[in-house]
Amino acid sequence: MGHVSYAANGIRLGLMRFRSPCGVAVVFLGFLLGASADVADASAASDCRVVGEASAGAWTLDVVHDARHFRSVLRAADDPTRTATGSFDLATGTFSHVVANGTGANASRAEASWRVHSLHEYRDRDADGRFGPGDESVRQHRVASLPQPTLQVLGRVDGGYDALAIYPINASSGSDGLPMGQAPPLPGQLRVAFLMLEEPALVDGQWVPPTRVPITADIVAFPFVSNDTRLALEVRIEAHDGLARTGGGFAEVDGFARSEHQWGSCAAVDGSEYPNRLLLLEDAATTDPSVSALFNYPPADDVRQSFAVTAAWAAPPAPAAAIPLAPFLGDLALFAAGALVSCAIVAFTVLPRLRNP
């Protein structure tokens, strides 16, 4: 903060002598000392930038899988410490995401998970189109309790992988039994698909970078037990340190690493766009910060909700651009210094002669 005192002292001294040309010069010098120092501080105060499209450059993708899990590791070819690891557990429906950057003291590690938790059949008692505390829960299907799920992982010609988890939904798998004498409806399915890429690919008319894992949750022929109920899909996002709200979801940020969890602005319900009827609930009962997102739909034979989990890394700040004002300030400083010298000459030579002719 030294430049502030330089400027203040110079202006104060100049104002005391403002009636003379020397005072004006001092004011100029005090202002220029403060202004030039402010310019230097502004260039040093810029923050690191988060790279929005982290797909530039080459990437390598390694995927291992079995009948119950898959694990993918995406690594930057020019920086092996920059990685994004995704792990899926079929039994719980959880996709864990770890984004790492750097080593040692400069290491950053963002950890978060995306989990398809439950399907809820409910009566919308308050008629707001969302499953909430004022509504009647008819049946809950917890994904971790659905019987005999299967996992398929297939390689793609572009070097990526498609993974598909299929969960059968039976009316008897819900939290409550069927009403007396009611025949069970035909079973449905929850199909959760993941796309892992090694290079950008065109998916549904949109270019997808390798740093993004698109996820779709398809609810096919859900076995409703009543004709006056609606459906809600519950997804939970959990972070190791904390969740920051973004425009279309949440993000876990740690230093120079970022794990973003987003969802589409609408769902496809029987082939037509349906605006999201979303309810967000914070879960204070867990040790790690988490949010439950409840997506709500009318009765339908086919519902598709899109999600995406994206890795991003911070980049160093760009070098400060040249400031055109600096040469101008230098010229003013020289002018003010010259004015002071002229004032001194006048004060010690011309003024004494005028006083004593």
Q: How would you write the chain as a 3-class SS string? A: CHHHHHHHHHHHHHHHCCCCHHHHHHHHHHHHHHHHHHHHHHHHCCCCEECCCCCCCCEEEEEEECCCEEEEEEEECCEEEEEEEEEEECCCCEEEEEEEECCHHHCEEEEEEEEEEEEEEEECCCCCCCCCCCCEEEEEEEHHHCCCCEEEEEECCCCCEEEEEEEEECHHHCCCCCCCCCCCCCCEEEEEEEEECCCCEEECCEEECCCEEEEEEEEECCCCCCCCCEEEEEEEEEECCCCEEECCEEEEEECCEEEEEEECCEEEECCEEEECEEEEEECCCCCCCEEEEEEEECCCCEEEEEEEEEEEEEECCCCCCCCCHHHHHHHHHHHHHHHHHHHHHHHHHHHHHHHCC
CA distances from 53 to 212, 314, 315, 333 (A): 10, 11, 11, 45
Split at pLDDT 50, 70, 90, the class of 96 is very high
- Bigger pLDDT: 322 or 225? 225
Split at pLDDT 50, 70, 90, the class of 71 is very high
In this predicted structure, the answer to whether residue 157 has a pLDDT above a threshold of 60 is yes
Across the range 289-311, mean pLDDT stands at 95
In this predicted structure, the answer to whether residue 173 has a pLDDT above a threshold of 70 is no
Across the range 111-139, mean pLDDT stands at 95
pLDDT digits (tens, 9 = 90+) for 222-276: 999 999 999 999 999 999 888 999 878 999 999 899 999 999 989 999 999 999 8
**What distance in Å separates the CA atoms of residue 169 and residue 177, rounded to the nearest whole number?**
14
Give the best-scoring range by mean pLDDT among 22-31, 52-61, 345-354: 52-61
In this predicted structure, the answer to whether residue 172 has a pLDDT above a threshold of 80 is no
For position 341, what pLDDT does the model report? 55
The position carrying tokens 């690891």 is: 85
For position 49, what pLDDT does the model report? 24
Q: Which of 55-59, 243-247, 278-282, 284-288 has the lowest mean pLDDT?
A: 284-288
In this predicted structure, the answer to whether residue 144 has a pLDDT above a threshold of 50 is yes
Across the range 293-306, mean pLDDT stands at 96
Going by DSSP bridges, is the β-strand pair 249-254/266-269 parallel, antiparallel, or unpaired? unpaired
Split at pLDDT 50, 70, 90, the class of 332 is low
For position 41, what pLDDT does the model report? 36
For position 32, what pLDDT does the model report? 40
Q: Is the pTM of this model over 0.75?
A: no
